[in-house]
A and B are shown apart, each in its own frame.
Chain A
Amino acid sequence: MATANFDAHWLAEAVRLREARDGRLDDAALLPLLQQAADFETRALVRAQALGERLGWHEALAHWHGGARLSALLLAALACSSGALLALGTLGDGSRPVNLIWALLGLLGLHGASLLLWLLAMLHPGKEAGAALGRLWLRLLRRLPAARETPELGRALPRLLARDGLGRWLFGAVSHGLWTLLLASALLTLLALFSLRRYGFVWETTILSPETLSTLLSVLDALPRLVGLGAPDGATLLGPQDDALRATWARWLMVALLLYGLLPRLLLWGGCRFAWQRAGRALRLDMRLPDNLLLRRHLMPEHGASRIADPAPAQLGSAHLPRPAIDAAAGGALVGIELGPDLAWPPPLAAPLRLIERIDGRADRQRTLERLAAAPPRRLLVAFDARLSPDRGSYALLAQLAAHAGNTAAWLAGDGERDAARLRHWRDGLAEAGLPAEHVVSERDAAMLWLEHADD
C-alpha cells in the first residue's frame, strides 16, 4: 500500500499527535543512539520508530496494511461483479436487439462522468479532489478494528494524506484501479456474452434525424478508426443484419469500451500509482509545524555538554583592613572612589575638611595616598558608587587608604534604586573585609554626621 518512507512519516506524525496531547514522551534512553545520525529528519524518524515499537504501534501498522489489502480486495470483488452486471444489464438476454448508442452510453456513461469530475477536481488544486471510490476505501479502512486500537495512527493518516497531494494520488490510484477492474470485467463479460448468445444491433429514435446517427457514429468512431477497427456504415443499423455484420458491430462495441474506458483508466491508474510512489519517497517532515521545530530543538541541541577547563580555586584571596594608624591627627578626610559623573560631588559639608579627593585611576590613587601619608586624618570617609558592582579592587583600595587613617567608614552613595541586592553585596563584602557594620552607611546625612565628629 505504501512505501517505507510513508510508513516512517506516518509513525512520526502519530508520535507528534500523541506528544501534542500528552507532552513529550520519555526518550532519554534513545538520545545517545540518535546522536549518530547527522540530520534532524533521520533522527526524528528513527525516534518515532523506536517510540512506536515501545507503544506497540508496529503491530497496529501491520494490521492497517492488512486491513487495507483486505478492503481493497473486497472492493475489487465488488468492482468485478458490478462490471459483469453492467455488461449483462446493458446487453440484455438477446431477445431484443441492442440499441447500439444506448449500450455504449450505458457502458461508458458513469465512467465518463466520474472521469470528467475527477479531471475537473484535479485542475483545482487544493479543493477536494474527486475519486469518490478512493475515499470510500479510506472510510472502510477506518472502520476496521485496527483503527480503533490506535487512534493516533487513525488521526495521523488523513493529515499525512492531505500534504503534497498524496491523498489525491492514492485515492486516484485506488479509484482508477477499481474502475479498471470494473471495465475489464465488463469487457470480459461482453466477450463471453457475444460468444455464447446471439445479439442484434439497432438504432432507434423518436425525434432525431438519420444524419444525427452518422454524426454521432463518426464522433464515437474517432479512436477505433485510429487503430484500424472502425465502425461499419451506420445505415446497416437500420436494416437487417447478417452474422458478419453483427460480429463487426460487436467487435466495434468492445473496441470502443477498451479504447474509451479501459485504456484511459488503466493509464491513469498507472500514472496515479507512479505519482503516489514518487510523492511518498519525497515526503519530508513539515517544518512549519511548531511541534516539529520544538522537536528539532530537543533533538539537535544548540550546544554540546560543557566542561570545566580550568577549575575554581579553593579560596579566593581577599583584602583585609589593617590596624588603624596610631599617630592620626585630628580632622576628617573624604575620598570618593570611582563615582559616577552624575553624583553630586563634593557633598555639602558642615565644616571644611583637610582632604577631599576623588580617585579614578592609578594617578589619582597615588596622589591621594601621598597626601594621606603626609597628614593622616582621624576619621576617613570613603565614598563608593553603590550602583557599581563591588570588586576586590575596591576593597584593596579601601585597605590601602585605611592604613593612613585612624578610623575608616564607608559611604555607599548613589540612589541604590538600581539594585537593592547590590547594596547588600557591598555590605557583605565590606564586612568580610573587616569593616564593622556600623561603619557602613548609605544615607548622605548619616555619613556627614560621622565626619563631623572627626575632631572629637
Chain B
Amino acid sequence: MTELPALAVVGHTNAGKTSLLRTLIRDAGFGEVSDRPATTRHVEAVELMAGGMAVMKLFDTPGLEDPLGLADLMDALAGDDRPDGPELVARFLASPEAGKRFEQEAKVLRQMQASDAALYVIDARDPVLAKFREELAILARCARPLLPVLNFVAQPGHRADEWRGVLARLGLHAVVAFDSVAPELDGERRLYAALATLIEAHRETLERLIEARAEEAAERLQAGRRAIAEMLLDVAALRRTLVDEAQAEATLQALRGQVRQRERRCVEDLLALYGFRRGDAPEEELPLLAGRWEDDLFSAQALREAGLRLGTGAATGAAAGMGIDLVTGGLTLGAAAALGALAGGLWQTVSHYGERLGGRLRGYRELSVDDAILRLLALRGQRLLQALERRGHAAMGRLALPPVDESAWREGSLPGALAEARIRPAWSTLSEAFEPDEARAAALAELSQSVQAIERLPSGE
C-alpha cells in the first residue's frame, strides 16, 4: 500500500461539499462555508487521519454552476468523431474556455481525473432538475467511481426518495444519505462502506478507517456513561451538616447550588465529548431534548414531568430536594460495608464515623439530596446521552428505535453503589474531604453499567 486513496468531493454550488468535509474531518474551521454561491473557488486538499496515521486524501472543489453551458461546449468539441468520455474531457481541458468561462468546472474535472473516486453531493431539497442530470453525465465522462451523497436529509421537505429513483435509473445504486449538519451516527460508516465497494484497491484502508471510527464511538459512549455515573455518585455522597438551625435556608440553597453546578459540569463534559464547542446551542440538533432543557432541577415541575414523586418526609415546593437525613450514628452499615470498614483501616473509620457520631451527639442534622433528585439527574443525564447518540434520527424519522427502558430508574430501587455512596461522604468530589479509593472506583464502574444508552444502531437502511 503505497498511496493514500484520493477522494474528490464534487457537486453543484451550495450543495454542502465544504460542510460535508468539515463533518468528515471533524474540524469546523476548514474552508469557508456560506450561503453565497461560488464560496469555494479553489481545490483544497486535506488528509484524513485515524489513529494518528493518514488514511485518505480529501479534495474540496468549487461548485459546478453551468452544466448546460458546459454540455453545449462539449457537444461542440465532440464534433463528428464521437470520442469516449475521458477523451472528450481531455479536449475540453485543452480548450481555451477551460481557462476562462469554465475555469471552475475545469478545476473540478481535473481533480476528478486525479482522484480514485468522487462523492457527488446533492442538496436533497432540490427537485431533480435537468441541469443536475447533465452534471452527472459530465462527471461520468471522467470514468471514476461516483458515490452520490444526499445532503440536507434531516430537513423537512427533502426529496431523497425522488433522487434515489432518478439515480437508480442512471445506474447509480449505491447512494448514501448524510446530513452534514446533523448526521446519523452510523452515517459515516455507511459512507465509507459504500466507498470500500467502489474503490476495491483501497478496501482495506477504508475498513480500517471504519473500525477506528467504531472504536472511537464505543469509547465515547463509555465515557459518557461514566460521566453520568460520576455525577450521580458525587451528588449521592454529598452531605452538609446543619449546625445552626437559623442557617437552614442558606445551607439548603448552597447545597442546591452545588448540585446544579455539578449537573452543569456533567452536561458540558457530555457536549464536549460529542463534538459541540462551548457556546454551541445543542437544541437544534438534538430534537429529543426539546423543552426539557431548561427546567430547574429542583422545581416541582421538573419532577412531575419526569414522572417522579418526592420521597416521604419532604413537602412540595420549597422543600423539594431536601432530604433531611437524621444521622443514626452511621449504623446503617450493611454487612459487607461493615467488613470493609473494619478491614480497611480502623484509623480511617474511626475518624470518619467519629465525626458524624460526634455531630449527632451534639444534635446536628445533616442535609443530603433526596432520592427523587438522584433519579431525576439520572433520567436527564441519560436522555441527553441518548439524544447525542441518536443525533439526526428523530428528524429523519426513518427508524423507529425503541426508547430506553427508564422504569428501572424511575421506580425501581436505586443501584447499590448509590446506596453505599450515601454513607461515604468522602466519595463526593464536591466535598472538601474527598478521598478516592478503590471502593469508589469499583462503585463507579458498577454504576456506569447501570447508566443506559441505546444499543448500537442496526446496520442497513
Q: Known contacts being A124-B339, A126-B439, A293-B220, is A309 close to B130, with CB within 8 Å?
A: no
A341 to B339, CA, bound (A): 76
Of all chain A residues, the one with the shortest Cβ separation from B106 is A310
Question: A52 CB to closest chain B CB, in angstroms?
Answer: 21
B196 at the interface (CB under 8 A from A): no
Q: Determine whether the beta carbon of A290 is less than 8 Å from that of B47.
A: no
Which residue in B226, B348, B436 is a CB contact (below 8 Å) of A288?
A: B226
Within 8 A of B (CB), among A307-365: 307-313, 316-317, 338, 340-341, 360-362, 364-365
From residue B342, how far is it (CB to closest CB) to chain A in Å?
7
A8 within 8 A of partner (CB): no
Chain B nearest CB from A100 CB (Å) reads: 30
Most central of B220, B343, B442 by chain A CB within 10 Å: B343
Residues in B with CB closer than 8 Å to A309 are 42-45, 59, 111
| Contact in complex: B68, A126 (CB < 8 Å) | no
Question: A130 interface residue, CB < 8 Å from B?
Answer: yes
**A158 x B437 contact (CB < 8 A):** yes
A296 to B111, CA, bound (A): 33
* Count of CB-CB pairs between chains A and B under 8 Å: 218
Contact with A along B433-460 (1 / 0, CB 8 A): 0011111111100001000000000000
Residues of B within 8 A of A121 (CB): 339-340, 343-344
Residues of chain B with a CB closer than 8 A to A130's CB = 343-344
Which stretch (B32-40, B283-291, B406-414) binds chain A? Answer: B32-40
Whether the Cβ atoms of A393 and B47 lie closer than 8 Å is no
What per-residue 1/0 map shows which CB atoms of B46-74 lie under 8 Å from chain A?
A: 11111110100001001101111101100
* Bound-state Cα–Cα, A205 to B72, Å: 119
Closest-by-CB residue of A relative to B64 is A391
* Interface stretch of the complex, out of A75-83, A163-171, A374-382, A403-411: A163-171
Task: Tell yes or no: A302 within 8 A of B by CB.
Answer: yes
Q: Given that A125-B442, A288-B222 are known contacts, is A316 also in contact with B339, CB under 8 Å in the complex? A: no
Asked if A373 is at the interface of the complex by the 8 Å CB criterion, the answer is no
Known contacts A130-B344, A308-B43: does B129 contact A360 (CB below 8 Å)?
yes
Q: Judging by beta carbons under 8 Å apart, are A340 and B51 in contact?
A: no
> Do A307 and B45 contact each other (CB < 8 Å), given the known contacts A288-B222, A392-B66?
yes
Encode B1-40 as 1/0 by CB contact (under 8 A) with A.
Answer: 0000000000011100000000001110011000111100
How far, in whole Å, are A307 and B44 apart by their CA atoms in the complex? 6
- With a CB–CB cut-off of 8 A, which chain B residues contact A30? none
B13: contacting residue among A120, A297, A389, CB under 8 A: A389
Say if the beta carbon of A39 comes within 8 Å of chain B. yes
Contact B129 A300, beta carbon cutoff 8 Å? no
Chain B interface category by residue count:
35 or more
CA distance A158 to B345 in the complex (A): 15
Binds B, one of A243-251, A419-427, A439-447, A448-456: A419-427
Residues of B within 8 A of A136 (CB): 345, 347
Contact with A along B116-143 (1 / 0, CB 8 A): 0000000101110111011000000000
A263 at the interface (CB under 8 A from B): no
B58 and chain A: residue at smallest CB distance: A303
CB distance A389 to B14 under 8 Å?
A: yes
A162 close to B438 (CB less than 8 A): yes
What distance in Å separates the Cβ of B50 from its nearest Cβ neighbour in chain A? 8
Report if A422-B340 is in contact (Cβ < 8 Å); known contacts: A125-B442, A126-B439, A310-B43: no
- Tell me, yes or no, whether A281 is within 8 Å of chain B by CB: no
Q: In chain A between 254 and 306, which residues have their CB closer than 8 angstroms to a CB of chain B?
A: 287-290, 293-294, 297, 300-306
Measured CB to CB, the nearest residue on chain B to A120 is B343
- Distance A136 CA – B27 CA, assembled complex (angstroms): 50
Whether B346 sits at the interface, judged by CB under 8 Å, is yes
B356 touches A (CB below 8 Å):
no
**A300 proximity list for chain B (CB < 8 A):** 49, 51-52
Are B438 and A159 within 8 A (Cβ)? no
Task: Provide the residues of chain B in CB contact with A167, threshold 8 Å.
Answer: 437-438
Which residues 119-172 of A have a CB within 8 angstroms of B? 120-121, 124-130, 132, 135-136, 139, 158-159, 161-163, 165, 167-168
CA–CA, A396 to B69, complex, Å?
Answer: 8
B51: chain A residues within 8 A (beta carbon): 39, 300
Instruction: Report the Cα distance A307→B30, complex, angstroms.
Output: 11
Q: Which of A287, A297, A304, A317 contacts B100 (CB 8 A)?
A: A317
Given A121-B340, A288-B222, A302-B26, check contact A340 B49 (CB 8 Å). no
Instruction: Please tell me if the beta carbons of A127 and B336 are within 8 angstroms of each other in the complex.
Output: yes
User: A303 to B48, Cβ gap below 8 A?
Assistant: yes
- Least CB distance, A316 to chain B, in whole angstroms: 6
Contact A392 B439 (CB under 8 A): no
Tell whether A419 pairs with B436 under 8 Å between CB atoms, given A117-B343, A302-B48. no
Q: Which of B134, B219, B270, B341 has the most CB atoms of chain A within a 10 A radius of its CB?
A: B219
Asked if B227 is an interface residue, CB under 8 A from chain A, the answer is yes
Interface residues in B75-132 by Cβ distance below 8 A to A read 100-101, 103-104, 107, 110-111, 123, 125-127, 129-131
Instruction: Confirm or deny: A38 has a beta carbon within 8 angstroms of a beta carbon on chain B.
Output: yes
**B49 & A393 in contact (Cβ 8 Å cutoff):** no
Query: How close is B220's CB to chain A, nearest CB, in angstroms?
Result: 6
How many angstroms from the CA of A297 to the CA of B126 in the assembled complex?
Answer: 36
CB pair A162 B437 closer than 8 Å: yes
Cα distance A421–B107 when bound, in Å?
A: 27
Whether a CB of chain B sits under 8 angstroms from the CB of A387 is: yes
Contact in complex: B37, A425 (CB < 8 Å): yes
Chain B residue nearest to A343 in the complex (CB): B127
Residue of A nearest to B222 (CB): A288
At the interface, yes or no: A118 with Cβ under 8 Å from chain B?
yes
Query: Is residue A429 within 8 Å, beta carbon to beta carbon, of the partner chain?
Result: yes
How distant is the Cα of A310 from the Cα of B111 in the complex, in angstroms? 9
Q: Which residues of A contact B336 (CB under 8 A)?
A: 124, 127
* Chain A residue with the shortest CB-CB distance to B107: A310
Closest Cβ neighbor of B224 among chain A residues: A290
Question: A362 with B438: in contact, given A128-B341, A310-B107, A317-B103 (CB under 8 Å)?
Answer: no
Residues of A within 8 A of B103 (CB): 313, 316-317
Chain A residues positioned under 8 Å from B123 (CB to CB): 389
Tell me if B273 counts as interface (CB < 8 A to partner A).
yes
For the complex formed, measure the closest distance between the CB of B431 and the CB atoms of chain A, giving whole angstroms: 14
Tell me the nearest residue of chain B to A118, going by C-beta: B343
| Bound: A307/B46 CA distance, A | 7
Q: Is B41 an interface residue (CB 8 A)?
A: yes
Q: Which residues of A contact B366 (CB under 8 A)?
A: none
Nearest-neighbor residue (CB-CB) of B215 within chain A: A287
For residue A40, CB closer than 8 A to chain B, the reply is yes
Contacting pair B59 A117 (CB below 8 A): no
- Are B35 and A425 interface neighbours, CB within 8 A? yes
- Asked if A388 is at the interface (CB within 8 A of a chain B CB), the reply is yes
Contact present for A158 and B435 (CB under 8 Å): yes
Q: What are 14 A-B interface contacts by the 8 Å CB criterion?
A: A117-B343, A127-B337, A127-B442, A159-B436, A161-B438, A168-B438, A303-B25, A304-B46, A308-B43, A309-B43, A316-B38, A360-B131, A361-B133, A364-B130
Name A's B-contacting residues (CB within 8 A): 38-40, 117-118, 120-121, 124-130, 132, 135-136, 139, 158-159, 161-163, 165, 167-168, 287-290, 293-294, 297, 300-313, 316-317, 338, 340-341, 360-362, 364-365, 387-393, 396-397, 418-419, 421-422, 425, 429
Question: Which 8 pairs across A and B sit closest by C-beta, in order of nearness?
Answer: A128-B344, A126-B442, A361-B130, A312-B41, A310-B43, A393-B66, A389-B14, A304-B47
Contacts A308-B43, A393-B67 supplied; 5 other A-B pairs, CB < 8 Å: A128-B438, A132-B344, A162-B440, A309-B43, A310-B42
